[in-house]
Amino acid sequence: MKLKDKVAIVTGAASGFGRGIAELYVREGARVCVADINGQGARDVAQSLGDAAIHTAADVAKADDVAAMVAETVDAFGGVDIMVNNAGYTHKNGPMLDVTEAEFDRIYDVNVKSLFFAAKVVVPEMEKRGGGVIITTASTAGVRPRPGLVWYNGSKGAAITITKSMAVELAPKKIRVCAINPVAGETGMLADFMGEDTPERRAQFTGTIPLGRFSQPSDIANAALFLADPASEFLTGICIEVDGGRCV
């Protein structure tokens, strides 16, 4: 098992990419904190994973929630080796000027400010373990942005730059920092990404992906396992496009 005896926190883990990551991590020997703003959903996932998982209701845009999430994990499992910043938020695909200030703030709080909150509390815990891995779910939107998701694109561009900056600064502490850039995937946010969920709209989106399909939770989970695996100890600052060729 590639993650035997490792302890991980996965945010946004009640569904979608986060759930896929949490499930794969447990299968590979990790103990996992399943964190989500949907507390009942997090509970359901954790219960399905057995004694290797705990759950917590956490809004990653709130510093106190993030601190409590990390503290609960340390209390339950003794530390933190892997932090997966997966929780995300978007506005509906449409004209940039139609996005409200409240929507803009929520996007940046969840997609960007949460990285600051998590780092403040998880880095000291990783130092106690002699190192660790921080993985952020960014997006191809931060690499090849397109109209309709302007403010979301910007937030993911920030996440990518933060990932690279943190990687350099935290390297002396043996903390690796990487990102995964999924193409649009089969998650709860897909309809917002497309603007509307119709066969025609789906065909339009998949037509831009050379491998011809949306990403699946298993695709992202496999990348998250690869980056967390101790065998990847010389990889840091990389942002992997899991996109079926979308960014080529």
For position 73, what pLDDT does the model report? 98
The rounded percent of the chain whose pLDDT value lies above 90 is 90
| pLDDT (0 to 100) of residue 131 | 98
Q: How does DSSP assign 17-41, residue by residue? A: HHHHHHHHHHHTT-EEEEEESSHHH
Question: Known catalytic residues?
Answer: 152
Return phi, psi of residue 167, to 5°.
-60, -40
Mean pLDDT of 62-78: 98
Determine contact, residues 53/33, Cβ cutoff 8 Å: yes
The whole-number average pLDDT for the span 181-192 is: 83
Percent of the chain scoring above 70 in pLDDT: 100
Q: Residue 101: what pLDDT?
A: 98
pLDDT digits (tens, 9 = 90+) for 11-55: 999 999 999 999 999 999 999 999 999 999 999 999 999 999 999
pLDDT recorded at residue 104: 98
* Measured distance CA(84)–CA(191) in Å, rounded: 24
Task: Report the predicted TM-score, pTM, of the whole model to 2 decimal places.
Answer: 0.96
Q: What is the dihedral of CA 50, 219, 115, 164, to 10 degrees?
A: 140
Could you report the per-residue pLDDT of 82-110, keeping only the tens digit for each? Answer: 999 999 999 999 999 999 999 999 999 99
Residue range 221-247, pLDDT digits in tens: 999 999 999 999 999 999 999 999 999
